[in-house]
Chain A
């Protein structure tokens, strides 16, 4: 009998693990998940609400794919993990035995104990159930408040905006996402948010949410004491690992399920990947808890090697990420800090009206390029990554900039001359 691998969670991490285990072995694979029958792209949730996509369109694989690839799907919530008996229990009943267990349970939305956070029409945005409640609570309303200036918050603001619902967007920081973005990038996104008629309130925090007689949110109160009447409150203040089912088990947890660079937990034969995993020490990943689509995919691919007998450590590679803020696309490659650091210099260009920006950071000592930030311009990941790994000098990079260009044909191809009035912020 070949090994039986059980995976909890059919998100990008679990699914990638399953796919690669299938490529590398003939193990029996069972994937148990509670939210949906099939894997869908969580990253596309906003497009369902906006009417760009239907739920079916967000499924990266046809429904027949799983059976064709010998991956058994079980829809259900895992209530206990019994590492002694090597079994999980689904829905409080049925036990499924395993030889190898992969925990890929993802995240949950944060709540920080605000008064009124559990009222009706107050919610985060993480999965399909949230989309359903959001549909219900936002029907026919005349103002919504979104709290938390992160990636999901701005998506929620855009979603509501496309339904012609006026939005007030409370952001604790001085500029949108200024804890990750340098001031110029942040300022450009602030402008983009306001150009979409979103009532952006920077440096503003939530104090409480006030109910009406039916127990539904009717207003939020900010730290400045202002009361903003609204009928919907989006609480998008980050996510944390969803490890409710792991905590009572023998598997060691902290904020997430603790793993080493091989995604091995404290219990042999049990692994954790994706949003729910937490590295035991710094330096393995970009952070201890990596909550991205790309990292989830990468974790899944790595753990599949180990499970299939080729023990492989996580190699985080050159960091990259991307997002889209309303109409402005954002790409980042390598290491760009929000605040200038000693020993780091910047080459910078922006067109504020067109909302385009290029930032190239390099080391002051030898001029090697460290990272790229791009708004409204697309660069090639291969090329940027290669330049960073090859420690290319900024002169070289600037001269060869056209190789990195990934904008559509007939677009202005970014050239060295664009930097002639280079500024050093």
Chain B
């Protein structure tokens, strides 16, 4: 840093409501700890209500305090707060989250009493006792719902954010929690309709297909549904809307990132180096999962004759390093340190696939508004995918990046109304720097030229829907009236 000045801690106004909210959250955390050390088994119902009730109620009360401030972008103090600026609280959160994943995957017996606490709910929903995955699913859904409510209140002036957040909350609650467990209750496979290969890789691995087809008609339907969603619906939807239809509207990983991860979105690395690593890594994972899938199928078709036992270590390695360590431990555990989209950006093969489609075959782009950018950096800073949005915006260039999940926060935080997420024709989507066309140097728009333009007669037609031709004119390079020779 080439300047140094001391930042004093801002005086904060911590009112009565905030205090009550924090107290309730404290009770909730204490409840969780007590449950973990035994109370969860002895008094499951009481433990559940004290801990979950405390957390939810405290969360809700805290969220309500946002309403005291006028609606609008509210990022005050984010860079000073210990929790959101990699301070002590941030590291504590990071360690707790990471530790939870480690216990969950490799030492679940330590979580035994917590799991028991969710027994009553598990019996109610799926007619059997809870296990670690039920506990995990429950806490995950709770986090999406409570922090989703926070997101909605924080962005209550922005309908795009509200609808998008409702959507991820809906998919998490319905498709990742209620439906799979109802299926279990009715003795059907626990199937997640909103996850497809390659994110949920085993749905198209021989083992997974066997498991589903063993469940008869319903299972067959699930196999076909998953395949159709990936091979047909995904390219079509991505063509029309970009990657966002999935990553920031449907996906559960995205759902957690967009809700619980929102306070940490600015921690993503914006450097060119990170972008390079990202491209290598995410596409390697895609290659890895495709290879693994192919190997598994060759193996299963030839009954091991060709590749022998090679496929087992392959699939185990993928499941362990990618499925568990990357997606879970690093992906969520490191939120407070590396930002909310580490997995989505560096590891998710579904995101990689969608990204390739988005880059080469989609109508989606982020349009920049002429020369209005003041290079302030809000857009880049609050991009959870680490895209240097400003780099494009300040040269008046559309932003089309494989990694963009279309969360729309750059457009929301921009203080000059420079960015707009749009779907439009593909021609001219990658426009060059068009800034030059706005404050052009070489164009001679003298008065004689202006006078030579006849006054356009008023149009007779009704309010037109934006046609592709309009679009091309508006966003094409220099096709508008003001042209430039540069």
Q: Which residues of A contact B (CB under 8 A)?
A: 12, 36-38, 41, 43-44, 47, 50-60, 62, 75, 128, 131-132, 135-136, 139-140, 162-165, 195-196, 293-294, 297-298, 301-302, 305, 310, 312, 315, 317, 320, 322-324, 326-327, 329, 331, 366-368, 378, 380-383, 385-386, 389-393, 395-396, 399-403, 406-411, 415-416
Contacts and interface: CB of A to CB of B under 8 A. Distances in A.
A410 B6 contact: no
A382 B370 contact: yes
B372 A381 contact: yes
B224 interface: no
B107 interface: no
B370 A320 contact: yes
Interface stretch (B139-147, B293-301, B319-327, B376-384): B376-384
A69 to B, nearest CB: 14
Nearest to A12: B375
A410 B159 contact: yes
B436 A164 contact: no
Contacts of B376: 41, 43-44, 47, 53, 58
A41 B438 contact: no
A44 B381 CA distance: 12
A214 B76 CA distance: 32
Contacts of B456: 390-393, 396
A43 B2 CA distance: 18
Main secondary structure of the interface of B (DSSP, over half): loop
A320 B374 contact: no
A383 B470 CA distance: 10
B72 interface: yes
A315 B2 contact: no
Nearest to A163: B10
B160 A409 contact: yes
Interface stretch (B215-223, B345-353, B408-416): B408-416
Nearest to B456: A392
B438 A408 contact: no
A294 B371 contact: yes
A56 B445 contact: no
Contacts of B6: 132, 135-136
A396 B374 contact: no
Interface string B443-486: 11100001001011111011111100010001100001110000
A317 B76 contact: no
A51 B417 contact: no
B480 to A, nearest CB: 5
B372 A400 contact: no
A410 B72 contact: no
Contacts of A415: 463
B72 A393 contact: no
A354 B3 CA distance: 40
Contacts of A416: 463
A324 B381 contact: no
Contacts, number: 234
Dominant secondary structure of chain A at its interface with chain B: mixed
A317 B438 contact: yes
Interface string B386-398: 0000110010000
Interface in B31-78: 70-73, 75-78
Given A317-B482, A409-B408, A411-B160, 16 more contacts: A43-B374, A47-B376, A52-B413, A297-B439, A298-B441, A301-B441, A302-B441, A324-B415, A385-B438, A386-B482, A389-B445, A389-B450, A399-B462, A408-B421, A409-B421, A410-B160
B1 A56 contact: yes
Contacts of B482: 317, 385-386, 389
Given A36-B3, A322-B372, A327-B70, A382 B438 contact: yes
A216 B13 CA distance: 26
Given A41-B377, A162-B77, A320 B2 contact: no
Interface of B: 1-3, 5-8, 10-13, 70-73, 75-81, 157-160, 163, 271-272, 367, 369-372, 374-378, 380-381, 390-391, 394, 408, 411-413, 415-417, 420-422, 436, 438-445, 450, 453, 455-459, 461-466, 470, 474-475, 480-482
A165 B10 CA distance: 10
Contacts of A381: 369-372, 438
Given A390-B456, A391-B453, A55 B1 contact: yes
A327 B157 contact: yes
Nearest to B446: A315
B258 to A, nearest CB: 16
Given A41-B376, A329-B417, A389-B482, A60 B474 contact: no
A393 B458 contact: yes
B76 A390 contact: no
Which 10 residue pairs spanning A and B have beta carbons closest together? A327-B72, A381-B370, A132-B5, A37-B2, A378-B417, A44-B376, A395-B458, A51-B77, A43-B374, A298-B439
Contact of B76 (A75, A162, A408): A162
A386 B481 contact: yes
B394 A389 contact: no
B10 A52 contact: no
A140 B75 contact: no
B471 to A, nearest CB: 9
Nearest to B465: A402
A60 B380 CA distance: 10
A131 B374 contact: no
A393 B369 CA distance: 23
Contact of A301 (B12, B436, B474): B436
B78 A164 contact: no
Contacts of B2: 36-38, 75
B380 A400 contact: no
A305 B441 contact: yes
Contacts of A320: 370-372, 438
Contacts of A323: 416
17 contacts: A43-B374, A50-B77, A51-B78, A51-B79, A52-B75, A53-B376, A60-B375, A62-B272, A135-B7, A305-B441, A320-B371, A320-B372, A329-B416, A331-B417, A389-B453, A402-B465, A410-B160
A282 B482 CA distance: 24
Nearest to B368: A381
Contacts of A47: 376-378
